[in-house]
Structure 1
Amino acid sequence: MHCPAYRETYAEFLKIDFPRIPWPHDAAEFWDISEKGGQLRRLHLMEPAAIGPAPYPFTGEGDNTVEAVSFDNGHVWINGTQHFENVPEIAWNFHIGGYQPAQKWLKDRKGRALSFDDVRHYQNIIKILSETDRIMKTISMTLAA
């Protein structure tokens, strides 16, 4: 269901019903899709080995309080002086269903100070969204007409 061709082919159907699961064309296609699906599953379960290092440093002086969330040129600002660096725009704008997790997670914490664990968790979210996009772009499947 992460294959770009699948999402395009069944876009209207997915809005009104449960997803159709097409059968892979051959064994090689099945194993390729299966491996990539496994990678996505491990990422979405936030398994540390799957995520690896998250190169999005949190910088700036302040009390870590989320005030006004914004994205500007690879920086995700949480207030006037503190931000996450090197954030890919694709991760910031990534949609899952009807919301954008990179934005929603911070906006849900408006008025709160981020702890060390919160900062690490958000860095992992950015990494997961970036990797999800990268893996999704490599998934291909022969769809029956």
Structure 2
Amino acid sequence: FDYIYGVLHCPAYRETYAEFLKIDFPRVPFPPSPEVFRTISEQGEALRRLHLMEDTAIGATPYPFHGEGDNVVEKPRFENGPEAGRVYINGKGTDGQYFDAVPPVAWDFPIGGYQPAQKWLKDRKGRTLSWDDIRHYQKIIKILTETDHIMRGIAMPLGDAGEG
């Protein structure tokens, strides 16, 4: 299962078979060697564990929540910094409450036609975030960041995907 999960998250596979995947089930290529199978399986396992939100897979979430306020989500926005940015949940300009050190890739990462980091906050517009909500959002940021990192490392030699 982890091998398949890894293959389906391989950027080259997704790009090569994008049109085919819109109309049919994915075809999983047979691995060209035991080493490729093992490597992609390990990457697939890491992705699966992240996507299931296993705490041991997520680890530390270095995206502190700052600012004084009531934790109400008003108009979420991302402001880029030199290396990472801030996700504001309320306020104007640099006033307001925010998650700090958020990589732009986490804010923009697409899944199924939308950006989860943006959608999660927009779906909570007008709500007060609890500390559990804040912790959950920090995990989402970490998962999206790590997913992008792992996906960029998946190298699948693509032959005929119909072989699997």
TM-score between both structures, scaled by the size of structure 1 = 0.97
Residue from 86, 108, 119 that aligns with 1:104: 119
Secondary structure of residue in 2 paired with 1:65: coil
Please identify runs of 4+ aligned residues in structure 1 that moved more than 6 A.
none
Distance 2:127 2:134 in 1: 12
The CA RMSD measured in Å over matched residues stands at 0.8
Q: Corresponding residue for 2:60? A: 53
* Greater Cα shift, 14-23 or 65-74: 14-23
Q: Corresponding residue for 2:50? A: 43
Matches within 5 A, 1:42-81: 42-73=49-80, 74-80=85-91, 81=96
Residue from 87, 102, 109 that aligns with 1:94: 109
1:127 and 2:142 aligned:
yes
Q: CA deviation at 1:16?
A: 2.0
Q: CA deviation at 1:104?
A: 0.5
Distance 1:25 1:86 in 2: 40
**Unpaired runs of at least 5, structure 2:** 1-7
* Greater Cα shift, 52-61 or 16-25: 16-25
Q: CA deviation at 1:58?
A: 0.5
Q: For residue 43 of structure 1, what is the amino acid of its counterpart? A: L
Secondary structure of residue in 2 paired with 1:143: coil
Q: Corresponding residue for 2:3? A: none
Q: CA deviation at 1:17?
A: 2.0
Q: CA deviation at 1:67?
A: 0.3
Q: Corresponding residue for 2:154? A: 139
8 Å contact kept, 1:102–1:125 = yes
1:104-144 alpha-carbon deviations (Å, 9 max, x no partner): 10000000000000000000000000000000011011111
Distance 2:23 2:12 in 1: 18
* Greater Cα shift, 15-24 or 71-80: 15-24
Q: CA deviation at 1:98?
A: 1.1
Distance 2:16 2:54 in 1: 31
| Count of aligned positions | 145
**Unpaired runs of at least 5, structure 1:** none
1:52-110 alpha-carbon deviations (Å, 9 max, x no partner): 00000110010000000100110101000101001000010000111110001000000
Q: CA deviation at 1:5?
A: 1.1
Secondary structure of residue in 2 paired with 1:122: helix
TM-score between both structures, scaled by the size of structure 2 = 0.86
Secondary structure of residue in 2 paired with 1:137: helix
Q: Corresponding residue for 2:24? A: 17
Q: CA deviation at 1:12?
A: 1.1
